[in-house]
Structure 1
Amino acid sequence: MLRLTMAAGLAACVIGLSACDEGKLETGAPVAGGATAVAPLRTAAGADVGRATATEVAGGLRFTVDGMNMPAGTHGAHVHTTGRCDAPDFTTAGGHWNPTEMKHGTMNPQGPHYGDIPNLIVDSGGRGTVAATIPGATMAGLLDADGAAFVIHAGPDDLKTDPSGNSGGRIACGVFQAS
Structure 2
Amino acid sequence: MDHNHGGSNATAELVAISGSQVNGTLHLVQHDNSNVLIKGSVAGLTPGKHGFHIHVNGNCDSPDGMSAGGHFAPSGGVHGAPSGEAHHLGDLGNIEADRNGVANVSVDVPGVSLALIGLNSIVNRAIVIHAKEDDFSDPAGNSGARVACGVIEQDNDMRM
TM-score range, shorter chain: 0.7 to 0.9
1:152 to 124, 129, 136: 129
TM-score normalised by structure 2 residue count: 0.80
CA-based RMSD of the aligned residues comes to: 2.2
Contact 1:118 1:130 in 2 (8 A): no
Aligned to 1:92, what secondary structure does the other structure show?
helix
* Structure 1 position 108, deviation (Å): 8.5
1:50 is matched with which residue?
24
2:45 is matched with which residue?
70
**Rg (Cα) greater in structure:** 1
Aligned to 1:139, what secondary structure does the other structure show?
coil
1:171 is matched with which residue?
147
Contact 2:64 2:146 in 1 (8 A): yes
| Structure 2 Cα separation of the partners of residues 108 and 34 of structure 1 | 25
TM-score normalised by structure 1 residue count: 0.73
* Structure 1 position 68, deviation (Å): 1.4
Structure (1 or 2) with the greater helix fraction:
1
| Structure 1 Cα separation of the partners of residues 24 and 82 of structure 2 | 27
Residues 33 and 47 of structure 1: CA distance in aligned 2, closer, same or farther (over 3 Å) = farther
* Structure 1 position 53, deviation (Å): 2.4
Deviations 1:75-134 (A, max 9, x none): 001111110002320000011111121211127865221111121110111211232222
Structure with higher RCO (Cα < 8 A, 6+ apart): 2
Length, aligned pairs only? 145
Q: Displaced runs of 4+ in structure 1, greater than 6 A?
A: none
2:122 is matched with which residue?
142
Structure (1 or 2) with the greater strand fraction:
2
| Structure 2 Cα separation of the partners of residues 35 and 109 of structure 1 | 27
The one-letter code matched in structure 2 to 1:67 is V
**Which stretch has the larger CA shift, 89-98 or 31-40?**
31-40
Which segments of 5 or more consecutive residues in structure 1 lack a partner in the other structure? 1-30
1:117 is matched with which residue?
92
